[in-house]
Amino acid sequence: MVNKQSNEFVPSGKLLNRVLKILIKSTIGRTALAEKVNVNYTRLLKHLKWLEQKGFVKMVIEKGKVNVVLTKTGRKFAKTFSSFK
């Protein structure tokens, strides 16, 4: 979602919650993550970009594949965020 007044991306809380719950458990590729959270790949990338800009995730290339990894700060955020429903 884009805030029409500021053109700044506003992530979906429900989608962030689903993504973070998966990332707490493991490192995963972007395509596999999109499939697991049942979301369009392009929409997922917008959320991952937002998380990366906040310092919560980083992209790591392993064996030619881009994986999404929680940072130390991201792990704390994920545990706090996922405790809300």
Nearest to 34 by CA among 25, 44, 26: 44
Tokens representing 67? 């994986």
Q: Is the pLDDT of residue 2 over 70?
A: no
Residue 7 maps to a domain: no
Range of the domain at 36: 13-81
Residue 60 maps to a domain: yes
Could you tell me the pTM of the whole model?
Answer: 0.86
Residue 63 maps to a domain: yes
Q: What's the Rg (C-alpha) of the chain? A: 13
pLDDT band at 83 (very low <50, low <70, confident <90, very high): confident
Residue 44 maps to a domain: yes
Looking up residue 76, the CATH number of its domain turns out to be 1.10.10.10
Q: How many structural domains comprise the chain?
A: 1
Give the model's pLDDT for residue 6: 54
Cross-sheet strand order for the sheet of 57-62: 28-29, 65-70, 57-62
- How do residues 49-81 score in pLDDT, each as one tens digit? 999 999 999 999 998 999 999 999 999 999 988
Cβ pair 37, 19 in contact under 8 A? yes
